[in-house]
Amino acid sequence: MADLNLIIAGVGGQGSILASHIVATAAIRDGLRARVGETFGAAMRGGAVASHVRIGKEIHAPLVPKDGAEIVLALEPLEGLRNIANFLGKGGLLLTNTRPWLPVDVNIGRAEYPSMESIKDAIDKLGGKIVEIDATSLAQQAGNVRTMNIVMLGALAATGKLPISVETLKQVIKENVPPKTIDVNLRAFELGLSSMKK
């Protein structure tokens, strides 16, 4: 399988960095090389965050080149849009949560939040595909809204585009979440996985 470039985008506090480390660790466990480059602002919470995940046999830099991502996994729609604009390659996939986290700029009336329609339109212009998931609700259904990132990983696994086995991913999730939350996280993963099969 060729090298895979994936970007996991979200807002600080949503768990995009943990999600990217789970994917990269699973890739290494399945015998591949991996790089993760994180871009985030100075703050703990609330800023735009993107993790660049590169998996394959011959990779060096930790950042995905322009137009180089096969998949953008967006934990928040605006952050999906921000990243597809620069990075989504031709025929690429935007897999996005549908729940917005409004920036302060929008709240104070200095900017407008893009509609889901305009995001779909952007994907059309880039020649890509979009799949929307209400991952926040699925995480609440799983038992903890904070497992939204794991719901999204389930959805990502269901695309069949990852060169990693689902079993390895689940094992690495188990090892990387707090022990008391293993069950709720695995439920979240399954909900994400099955949401794509509907």
Residues that bind another protein (CB under 8 A): 11, 13, 21, 24-25, 28, 33-48, 58-63, 65-67, 78-79, 81-82, 84-86, 90, 101-114, 118, 122, 125-126, 136, 145, 172, 175-176
CB of 196 to another protein, least distance (A): 23
Contact by Cβ (8 Å): 11, 76: yes
> Which C-beta is closer to another protein: that of 29 or that of 196?
29
Dihedral class, residue 102 (left if φ above 0, else alpha if ψ from -120 to 50, else beta):
beta
Helix axes 135-142, 182-195, angle to 10 degrees: 140
How many Cβ atoms from other residues are within 10 Å of residue 31's Cβ? 9
> Which C-beta is closer to another protein: that of 41 or that of 183?
41
CB of 18 to another protein, least distance (A): 12
Output phi, psi for 179, to 5 deg. -50, -40
CB of 197 to another protein, least distance (A): 27
> Which C-beta is closer to another protein: that of 104 or that of 160?
104
HEC letters along 85-126? HHHEEEEEEEEEECCCCCCHHHHCCCCCCCCHHHHHHHHHHC
CB of 194 to another protein, least distance (A): 23
CB of 187 to another protein, least distance (A): 19
Structure tokens, 86:
């620069």
Question: β-strand 33-40 against 129-133: which pairing, if any?
Answer: unpaired
> Which C-beta is closer to another protein: that of 136 or that of 195?
136
CB of 96 to another protein, least distance (A): 14
> Which C-beta is closer to another protein: that of 106 or that of 166?
106
Contact by Cβ (8 Å): 158, 170: no
Bridge partners of 16, per DSSP, are none
Structure tokens, 163:
């060169």
> Which C-beta is closer to another protein: that of 161 or that of 174?
174
